[in-house]
């Protein structure tokens, strides 16, 4: 027959001891899996604090005297799947870790930074979780701890597992490390462990390398863990990871062989921390993520008039455990009755005490409390007996229990006449409703009602006036916000308990500056890159400059050494501040950009001139020269943009006139030049005039003289035809003179005769 849980009064353990999700019982269980811790950090140099969140792990806080503490996202540096802890807990990539420096760079204890982790209630027990220390090379770490009872832990109880190198060169799937100093391949360095002193020491030369790591799995429950980190050389930093493996624990509760719904289940860890949940309608319960350990204990609240028939013993939780069952029985001849409590409007009322008495003599037979649906069940009642069920401020309801083995008697609703209160609210994550969350109502140390949020994140309880604690858990690991709210519900009033959670946003800083050319012209669209000096110690940020050449590198990791680079300019190193924007700008000045000037050179007749030198001379600076190709073309490389040049082609008498040109601006298309050479001068050979007819061997000085006169001026006429014509005229003239002389002699002779 149907049975109902009865939640016994008294204080029960709070889920916060284990930091688990306070989910109601479900049929689903989480598989065994590994997790890496989520770190937070606040504070300033010498006084840092923070938390480490792991599913199913105690609330963990830390303090540090380090001069610099950084939470690193782990996207580039981590423990790959082939490293020893990666093989146990999975790849840590994408999970955060903590970077810490010494208090001061002094190679002795006076410069050491002490970081102490405190585990609420102590860690669960032996095994199940580990811590990893990385980049132990030019430094050393002294490790100590205290046990859950406050006594010092032995070095052996720290559970040193071994040293290794996490670089991908030796751990497939690991991070890509730079080469060690001296060109030594990465992945060679490992730290050494002193089992007598608890000192993890870097390499003998105190040389800054990459990937030197060790890991530990404590063998006892720890209350605190302290790491004293000191410098041996340089400016070292070390890394810390936390990891655990969780398994689910589940079972079923029954009463007389039937499911026992809404029963309070308490799971106690080996360190004494507890987590609670309730059974579902089928009597099933599950805690989805508990850190693996031996010695978990399970107890289920015993219903009235029932006794435990079977119960689970200590549970070794190294894999998922599903059979932690509890069975209750009632004495023979007893029965149960069901009922509900509602207000005058018929709305179910939660957390109302119901008293069941014998109708004849008033003996109290059972005391139960309504659940979140206003339902109640009393078990172990005598069969076939007259009873009365009542609540304060309500009308009693009488009934007769059924016979042993008969169907359960269902009583009429008990109507509460007293004013009722409403407790309502909403669970949100970054202002929006997360997936369904479980909300519990606690009074006097016990869970009196449980509900699940609606799709919009809202919930409500109808209760009697009083003071209650409403609690839930963060919807995602690491979310910030309160998980408990105490409210006082008054008659006919509404008390509000909202749970506004926020996803943690890592604090960042920014660095502003500009990029310009010499002379002050801004450079738009230039790429500015901020890269951590130490790989993996911060976020890489890349931006481009605006139209005025300005840039703003936002999202930088605080207190981190960065290198800022712009192509064409010298690298600048900066150390980011703790918060906000950098006070000093970083401005880059680039040399003026250059352009190429094309053109052609032709000779005086317009034909391409090959092999002709072309020179571009600026008003200030060095000239640039080149030579024309076979087709007369040329390109003057590396000229300053938007600058005047005189460009000339050729040498000597054929050199063309220089052209003044202003080169194109960067990005513009230059206009080709057209240069022309001068015509070359022609030098004629010697000219010999024709001899004069009748002249003797030596011609008289003057006309017809053969004495050289030097070269003729270049007129464009040919010399040979002119000389021939002149000679012909001279011969004709001589012939005329000879003929006239002959006639004269004949006339003289005739007169004498």
pLDDT given for residue 251 in this prediction: 95
pLDDT given for residue 505 in this prediction: 67
Final residue before a domain boundary, out of 245, 276, 305: 245
pLDDT tens digits along 431-480: 999 888 899 998 877 788 888 999 999 999 988 888 999 999 888 877 88
Considering the domain architecture, whether residues 520 and 481 belong to the same structural domain is answered as no
Query: Of 297, 241, 294, 245, which is closest to residue 266 (Cα–Cα)?
Result: 297
pLDDT given for residue 685 in this prediction: 57
What are residue 434's phi and psi, to 5 degrees? Answer: -80, -170
Considering the domain architecture, whether residues 145 and 198 belong to the same structural domain is answered as yes
pLDDT tens digits along 87-100: 999 999 889 999 99
Find tokens 């069940």 and name the residue.
Answer: 377
Considering the domain architecture, whether residues 99 and 145 belong to the same structural domain is answered as yes
Residue 752 lies in a domain: no
Spans of the chain, pLDDT less than 70:
1-30, 505-506, 682-753
CATH of the domain at 581: 2.60.40.1120
What are residue 279's phi and psi, to 5 degrees? Answer: -75, 155
Residue 308 lies in a domain: no
pLDDT given for residue 691 in this prediction: 54
Considering the domain architecture, whether residues 462 and 433 belong to the same structural domain is answered as yes
Considering the domain architecture, whether residues 393 and 526 belong to the same structural domain is answered as no
Q: CA-based angle 335:265:487, to the nearest 5?
A: 105
pLDDT given for residue 371 in this prediction: 85
pLDDT given for residue 720 in this prediction: 42
Considering the domain architecture, whether residues 371 and 429 belong to the same structural domain is answered as no
Considering the domain architecture, whether residues 570 and 622 belong to the same structural domain is answered as no
Final residue before a domain boundary, out of 575, 590, 605: 590
pLDDT given for residue 423 in this prediction: 93
Give the total number of structural domains in the chain.
5
Tokens representing residue 342 in the block: 């509602």
**Can you give the residue range of the structural domain that contains 429?**
421-501
pLDDT given for residue 31 in this prediction: 74
Final residue before a domain boundary, out of 636, 654, 676: 676
Considering the domain architecture, whether residues 145 and 206 belong to the same structural domain is answered as yes
Considering the domain architecture, whether residues 568 and 598 belong to the same structural domain is answered as no
Considering the domain architecture, whether residues 75 and 219 belong to the same structural domain is answered as yes
The alpha helices in 117-275, defined as continuous H runs, are none
pLDDT given for residue 13 in this prediction: 35
Contacting residues for 661 by C-beta, under 8 A, at least 6 apart: 597, 644, 645, 647, 671, 673
pLDDT given for residue 689 in this prediction: 58
Residue 275 lies in a domain: no
Residue 257 lies in a domain: no
pLDDT given for residue 15 in this prediction: 35
Considering the domain architecture, whether residues 339 and 229 belong to the same structural domain is answered as no
Sign of CA dihedral 157, 47, 41, 470: positive
Query: Of 454, 465, 557, 541, which is closest to residue 507 (Cα–Cα)?
Result: 557
pLDDT given for residue 559 in this prediction: 80
pLDDT given for residue 736 in this prediction: 42
- What DSSP state is assigned to residue 111? G
Q: Are 413 and 340 contacting, i.e. CB atoms less than 8 angstroms apart?
A: yes
Q: Are 4 and 377 contacting, i.e. CB atoms less than 8 angstroms apart?
A: yes
Residue 301 lies in a domain: no
Considering the domain architecture, whether residues 487 and 536 belong to the same structural domain is answered as no
Residue 311 lies in a domain: no
CATH of the domain at 482: 2.60.40.10
Residue 11 lies in a domain: no
Residue 658 lies in a domain: yes
pLDDT tens digits along 605-653: 999 999 999 999 998 888 999 999 999 999 999 898 888 999 999 998 8
């Amino acid at each position: 027959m149907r049975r109902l849980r009865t939640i016994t009064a008294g204080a029960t353990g709070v889920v916060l001891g284990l930091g688990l999700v306070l989910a109601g019982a479900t049929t689903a269980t989480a598989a065994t899996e590994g997790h890496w811790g989520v770190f937070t950090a606040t504070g300033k140099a010498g006084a840092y604090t923070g938390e480490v969140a792991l599913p199913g792990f105690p609330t963990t806080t830390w303090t540090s005297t380090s001069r610099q503490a950084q939470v690193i996202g782990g996207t580039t540096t981590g423990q790959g799947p082939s490293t020893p802890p990666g093989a146990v807990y999975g790849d840590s990539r994408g999970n955060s870790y903590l970077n810490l420096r010494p208090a001061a760079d002094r190679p002795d204890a006076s410069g050491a930074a002490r970081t102490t982790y405190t585990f609420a209630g102590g860690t669960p027990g032996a095994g199940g979780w580990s811590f990893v220390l990385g980049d132990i090379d030019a430094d050393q770490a002294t490790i100590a701890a205290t046990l859950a009872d406050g006594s010092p832990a032995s070095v052996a109880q720290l559970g040193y597992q071994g040293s290794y190198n996490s670089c991908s060169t030796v751990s497939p799937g690991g991070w890509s490390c730079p080469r060690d100093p001296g060109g030594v391949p990465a992945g060679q360095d490992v730290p050494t462990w002193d089992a007598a002193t608890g000192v993890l020491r870097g390499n003998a030369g105190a040389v800054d390398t990459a990937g030197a790591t060790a890991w530990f799995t404590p063998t006892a429950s720890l209350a605190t863990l302290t790491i004293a980190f000191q410098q041996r050389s340089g400016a070292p930093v070390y890394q810390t990871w936390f990891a655990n493996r969780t398994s689910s624990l589940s079972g079923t509760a029954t009463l007389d062989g039937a499911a026992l719904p809404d029963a309070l289940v308490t799971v106690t860890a080996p360190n004494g921390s507890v987590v609670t949940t309730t059974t579902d309608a089928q009597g099933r319960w599950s805690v989805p993520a508990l850190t693996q350990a031996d010695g978990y204990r399970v107890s289920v609240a015993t219903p009235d008039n029932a006794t435990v028939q079977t119960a689970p013993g200590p549970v070794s939780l190294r894999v998922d455990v599903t059979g932690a069952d509890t069975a209750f029985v009632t004495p023979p001849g007893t029965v149960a009755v069901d009922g509900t409590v509602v207000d005058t409007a018929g709305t179910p009322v939660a957390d109302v005490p119901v008293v069941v008495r014998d109708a004849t003599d008033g003996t109290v037979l059972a005391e139960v409390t309504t659940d979140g649906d206003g339902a109640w069940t009393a078990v172990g009642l005598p069969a076939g007996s007259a009873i009365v069920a009542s609540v304060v401020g309500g009308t009693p309801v009488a009934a007769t229990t059924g016979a042993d083995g008969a169907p359960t008697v269902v009583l009429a609703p008990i109507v509460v006449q007293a004013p009722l209160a409403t407790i309502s609210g909403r669970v949100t994550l970054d202002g929006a409703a997360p997936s369904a969350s479980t909300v519990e109502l606690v009074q006097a140390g016990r869970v009196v009602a449980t509900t699940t949020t609606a799709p919009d994140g809202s919930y409500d309880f109808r209760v009697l006036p009083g003071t209650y604690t409403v609690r839930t858990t963060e919807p995602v690991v690491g979310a910030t916000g309160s998980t408990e709210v105490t409210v006082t519900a008054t008659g006919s009033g509404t008390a509000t308990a909202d749970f506004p959670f926020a996803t943690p946003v890592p604090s960042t800083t920014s660095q502003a500056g500009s990029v310009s050319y010499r002379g002050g012209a801004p450079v738009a669209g230039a790429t500015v890159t901020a890269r951590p000096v130490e790989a993996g110690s911060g976020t890489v940020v890349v931006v481009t400059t605006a139209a005025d050449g300005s840039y703003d590198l936002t999202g930088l990791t605080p207190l981190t050494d960065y290198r800022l680079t712009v192509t064409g300019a010298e690298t600048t190193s900066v150390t980011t501040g703790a918060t906000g924007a950098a006070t000093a700008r970083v401005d880059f000045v680039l040399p003026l950009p250059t352009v190429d000037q094309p053109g052609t050179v032709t000779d005086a007749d317009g034909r391409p001139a090959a092999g002709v030198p072309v020179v571009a001379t600026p008003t200030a600076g060095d000239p640039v020269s080149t030579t024309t190709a076979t087709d007369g073309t040329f390109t003057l490389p590396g000229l300053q943009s938007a600058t005047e040049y005189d460009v000339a082609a050729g040498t000597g008498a054929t050199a063309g006139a220089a052209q003044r040109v202003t080169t194109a601006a960067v990005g513009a298309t230059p206009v080709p030049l057209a240069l022309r050479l001068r015509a070359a001068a022609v030098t004629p050979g010697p000219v010999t005039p024709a001899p004069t007819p009748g002249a003797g061997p030596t011609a008289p000085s003057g006309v017809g003289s053969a004495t050289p006169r030097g070269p003729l001026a270049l007129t464009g006429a040919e010399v040979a035809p002119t000389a021939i014509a002149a000679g012909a005229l001279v011969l004709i003239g001589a012939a005329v003179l000879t003929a006239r002389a002959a006639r004269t002699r004949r006339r003289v002779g005739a007169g004498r005769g």
